[in-house]
Chains A and B, each alone.
Chain A
Amino acid sequence: MRPSARALTLSAVSVIVVLILSAILWVIFAGSVDHLQTTFNPKSDNAIKIHNLYKLVWILAGIVMAAVLAITLAFSLIFRERPGGKAASHIHGNPKLEVMWTLIPVIIGILIVIPSFQVIADTTGDAPEGAIEIVATGHQWWFEFEYPAAGLVTANELHIPVGRPVEIELRSVDVIHSFWVPQLAGKVDMVPGHNNRLWFTPNERGEYYGQCAEFCGTSHANMRFRVVVESEADYIAWVAAQTLDAQPAVGELAQAGEGIATTLCAACHTIQGTSAAGTFGPNLTHVGGRGLIASGMIDNDAEGLAEWLSDPAAMKPGSKMPNLNLNSEQIEQLVAYLQGLQ
């Protein structure tokens, strides 16, 4: 029984509508490739594998979605009651069709699941030989990074060399956090009491944006970090500099700041080479060299530092760093000192 011209026209209309919508979708996705935290611009082996899998899933799923939407629209238009239209047909079933639309989703499911298993196997489990070992510890609300082999501890900014695998052991001192830098790897949770691991090999130099991706309390939104992927030479230089003691204060202002830092700040912060050896807050030995402060919240400049020091909780609600009630002179001194900690 051939479909009528009307039915064909309305079907064509439906298909065109859906194709236009799909095209708009495609354009939007394509346009998001340069977003700072996008999942569409992978820059590591594992992120690329995940992205390629997603492209396959997107196409298969997209075809099903487009088909269902087009059919829904077409049937709504074609079978709408109208004078002179055909009476409703009394079909209770159609075994051949029903078998087909049971089998096809099963096949699509298998087509998605098999490559998924492959990617799970490829991207999880043991890291490749020679991977740099890093320990990332989640705190409310900042990231601690330790390089055990080099004996260095830093915070919120991770440096790794391009082309070499890194294996990150994920811990937490308080609640569940999640380590997520979309361009480099899928996320893995940092669960207190568990030692999860993730690994990847970055393939392009750059600065990549990451954010905690498991709700962890008041300032979950403010727990961000950066991963700097640099040349092997730059990386080695960075590691070497990070393991050195803190730069001594230069100039009156900074020296006064050092005095404040080693007294007021010492309870929570470590400044290696001084008497400040607290471990509750981020390690500040080389804080001056970081691009951002307050766990990826603001640029690390004098103004930002001053704002943070004057009232941490105003910038980061719930912050465990108390308001030390510093006057503007003290803040100026501290800023001078901290900026010197390169």
Chain B
Amino acid sequence: MATAVGTLPMGHEENSLWTWLTTVDHKKIGVLYGVSGFIFLLIGGLEALTIRTQLAVPNGTVVDADLFNQLFTMHALTMIFLAVMPLGASFFNYLVPLMIGARDVAFPRLNALSYWVFLSGALLLTSSFVFGGAPSGGWFGYAPLTSSEYHISSGMDFYTVGLAILGTSSLMASLNFAVTIINMRAPGLTMMRLPVFIWMTIVVNFLLILSLPVITVALIELYFDRNFSTTFFSPSVGGDPILWQHLFWVFGHPEVYVLILPSMGIVSEVLPVFSRKPLFGYAAVVFAGVAIAVLGFAVWSHHMFTTGLDTVPQMVFSATTMAIGVPTGIKIFNWLSTMYGGQIRFTVAMYFSVAFIALFTIGGISGVMHASPPVDTQQQDTYFIVAHLHYVLFGGAIMGIFSGIYYWFPKMTGRFLDEGWGKLNFWLLFVGTNLTFFPMHFLGLSGMPRRIYTYDSGFGWDTWNMVATIGSYTLAAGFLVFILNFFKTMRQEPSAPNNPWGGSTLEWATTSPPPEHDFDVIPEVRDRDPLWYDRDHNIEQPAAPEHLHIHMPPPSYFPLVLAMGLALVGVGALSHLAITGLGVAVVVYAIWGWALEPTD
């Protein structure tokens, strides 16, 4: 009988550095993404704290203008690409095979490659701080401010190259998960029986598959403008800065749905379990998710209402943006209806999911406001937008991620995060979110623009800025409590049963943590809530056979080598093209080795 090979140290199994560097096990890769994502979340948080400290008082002197501009640029890039997306990827990695009754993803080595490419892109982008300065053109990088004429430091090249590498990582992962979900479902697991989290995963995959190429081209064009004097975005040579905006936002808008849908999936899993009743309106929640993704490609110019768009495009994009509120609302109402008539157990995971509903709604409502172009002319580029985006991304995405962490922690580690500390964690984050970001609505409506390193007193902005800063320190305290909770919990002996919360989905049908091969016997699925159905109909789990003849793919170092080759390609693009050549050679070698190595 295979021992439970977990993903975090359990003492008696292989856990060397080499194991982690060569793993192709989706659970370990999930942990790698999770730990990296969380560290970058903290880095992004430090960037934010510095920003908030600078803005606590008028005419602050904590950082100078140039460093401030680097900080807000990197804060956004870090949070979006190095924190929230990898944390989402962490859940995808760990849970997708388990939830669909598979033993791993379709392409385990490609999966490992995605992680190592992510890490090299993340390190490359972050290293810009010490190599001449981080990019300071904003995460949205509007031309021509980002051209070599106006953005003299190489930070902008770290931006293009770094994001291109990160995009490659996300694309590979998305392809992998899409094939896995389409092709590797357990017997009886039809698409309309998939957990909502899995539906959100595949929707996110397609959002990325179709939007990443657009920004890749934009980044290539910007890199070429800066380094090879092409004429795409600079008006001085006939280019058009508005082209950059279109290309960026055709990616950028679907990207925000990439950020929120995984958390919406998590909430859709957590609410039913702790309400002790099935998700209300499953089909509607699934179709709403798909609708949001499709419509998500039709709203991008709502980021451009003030750029001088013609009347007709303004009206069209306003209508599509308003339309996207409808499926979003459907999800909210379905979640509330899931709570209705329930026997709700308020674990920390449930606190976070319920808070998601409230806080995401606040963010969604402010979004509806600037979906109206005339209203947007007073809100665009002010702190009102900063308030909106942080309510949906922090109050939404991050709260959802924490819900998932508390919910699946026993499954992944066999231990329970302390509920008492967890509640403190929750309240600090909940109060902190509102203290930090609610006043920003007032600041924006009182005329405070965004992306300013300082402001004068006398505008009525002083008090709310101070309140927001206090809120940001409250958030920091919340994170600290979580980190302490984590380390305290990891010192315990693992003791969690298979299904401590009474969940209905397949990951709860195996041990906590699962063995390396996930399931001793691949389950058969008879219902949308398989474990509840089997429980209610007294269906026994099939016994594991005497000898398990399960072949799992062996570890491989070629993903790591290939990633290092790609990193060299990137470094060469920032220094000498000879290094790019070397990188290409390493990549070719790695592909050759990868193709030829035995996998059985």
Question: Which chain A residues have a beta carbon within 8 Å of chain B's beta carbons?
Answer: 28-29, 32, 34-40, 49-51, 53-54, 57-58, 61-62, 64-65, 68-69, 71-73, 75-76, 79-81, 85-94, 97-98, 101-102, 105-106, 109-110, 112-113, 116-117, 119-121, 123-125, 140, 170, 174-176, 178, 180, 182, 185-189, 191-194, 196, 209, 211-221, 317-318
Contacts and interface: CB of A to CB of B under 8 A. Distances in A.
B281 A113 contact: no
B277 interface: yes
Interface in B325-374: 325-326, 329-330, 332-334, 336-337, 339-346, 354, 357-358, 361-362, 365-366, 368-369, 371-374
B150 A317 contact: no
A149 B280 CA distance: 66
B284 interface: yes
B460 interface: yes
Contacts of A121: 311
A28 B281 contact: no
A39 B150 contact: no
B323 interface: yes
Interface stretch (B94-102, B253-261, B441-449, B475-483): B441-449
A186 B544 CA distance: 68
B319 to A, nearest CB: 6
A76 B354 contact: yes
Contacts of A85: 343
A221 B452 contact: yes
28 contacts: A29-B445, A37-B446, A37-B459, A38-B446, A39-B445, A50-B374, A58-B369, A68-B332, A72-B339, A72-B358, A86-B343, A92-B280, A93-B283, A98-B281, A102-B329, A105-B325, A119-B374, A120-B314, A176-B241, A178-B381, A186-B377, A189-B306, A192-B241, A193-B241, A215-B145, A218-B65, A221-B449, A221-B455
Contacts of B496: none
B454 interface: yes
A34 B459 CA distance: 9
Contacts of B454: 221
Contacts of B458: 36
B333 A101 contact: yes
Given A35-B460, A61-B365, A175-B145, A69 B358 contact: yes
B595 interface: no
Contact of A88 (B325, B341, B376): B341
B358 A120 contact: no
B131 to A, nearest CB: 20
A193 B372 contact: no
B342 A88 contact: yes
B380 interface: yes
A116 B368 CA distance: 12
Nearest to B461: A35
A145 to B, nearest CB: 19
Nearest to B459: A36
Interface in B214-250: 235-236, 239-242
Interface in B301-331: 306-308, 311, 314-315, 318-319, 322-323, 325-326, 329-330
Contacts of A120: 311, 314-315, 373-374
B278 interface: yes
Contacts of B283: 93
Contact of A187 (B150, B333, B380): B380
B340 A109 contact: no
Contacts of B332: 68
Contacts of A93: 280-284
A187 B344 contact: no
Contacts of B284: 93, 98
A98 B323 CA distance: 16
Interface string B105-140: 000000000000000000000000000000001100
Contacts of A29: 442, 445
Contacts of A51: 378
Nearest to B380: A187
A247 B461 CA distance: 39
Contact of B368 (A53, A81, A112, A211): A112
- Among A51, A71, A196, the one with the most B-chain Cβ atoms within 10 Å of its Cβ is A71
B336 A71 contact: yes
B336 A68 contact: yes
A318 B150 CA distance: 11
A215 B138 contact: yes
Nearest to A298: B456
Contacts of B242: 191, 194
Contacts of B362: 65, 69
A213 B380 contact: yes
A92 B365 CA distance: 27
B442 A187 contact: no
B26 interface: no
A32 B452 contact: no
A185 B332 CA distance: 35
B358 A37 contact: no
B343 A212 contact: no
A318 to B, nearest CB: 7
B459 A28 contact: no
B375 interface: yes
Contact of B447 (A87, A175, A211): A211
Given A112-B368, A186-B377, A213 B280 contact: no
Given A75-B340, A91-B341, A216 B145 contact: yes
Contacts of A89: 277, 341-342
Given A71-B336, A175-B150, A123 B374 contact: yes
A133 to B, nearest CB: 17
Interface in B262-299: 275-278, 280-284
A39 B369 CA distance: 14
Given A68-B332, A101-B330, A79 B344 contact: yes
Contacts of A34: 460
A35 B442 CA distance: 11
Contact of B342 (A73, A79, A178, A218): A79
Contacts of B366: 61
Contact of B354 (A72, A116, A187): A72
Contact of B377 (A28, A37, A50, A113): A50
B442 A32 contact: yes
Given A98-B281, A192-B241, A187 B306 contact: yes
B360 to A, nearest CB: 10
A65 B366 CA distance: 10
Contacts of B239: 193
Given A75-B339, A81-B346, A97-B333, 9 more contacts: A29-B442, A37-B459, A50-B374, A61-B365, A98-B334, A191-B308, A218-B66, A221-B451, A317-B66
B504 interface: no
Contact of B307 (A90, A119, A175, A191): A191
Given A58-B369, A186-B378, A32 B306 contact: no
Contacts of B275: 79, 88
A38 B458 CA distance: 12
A214 B381 contact: yes
Contacts of A125: 311
A98 B330 contact: yes
Contacts of B311: 120-121, 124-125
Contacts of B280: 91-94
Nearest to B439: A28
A176 B236 CA distance: 13
B445 A40 contact: yes
A105 B371 CA distance: 14
Contacts of B13: none
A79 B350 CA distance: 13
Interface string B455-492: 10011110000000000000000000000000000000
B505 interface: no
Contacts of A37: 446-448, 459
Nearest to B281: A93
Given A32-B445, A113-B318, A113-B372, A187 B235 contact: no
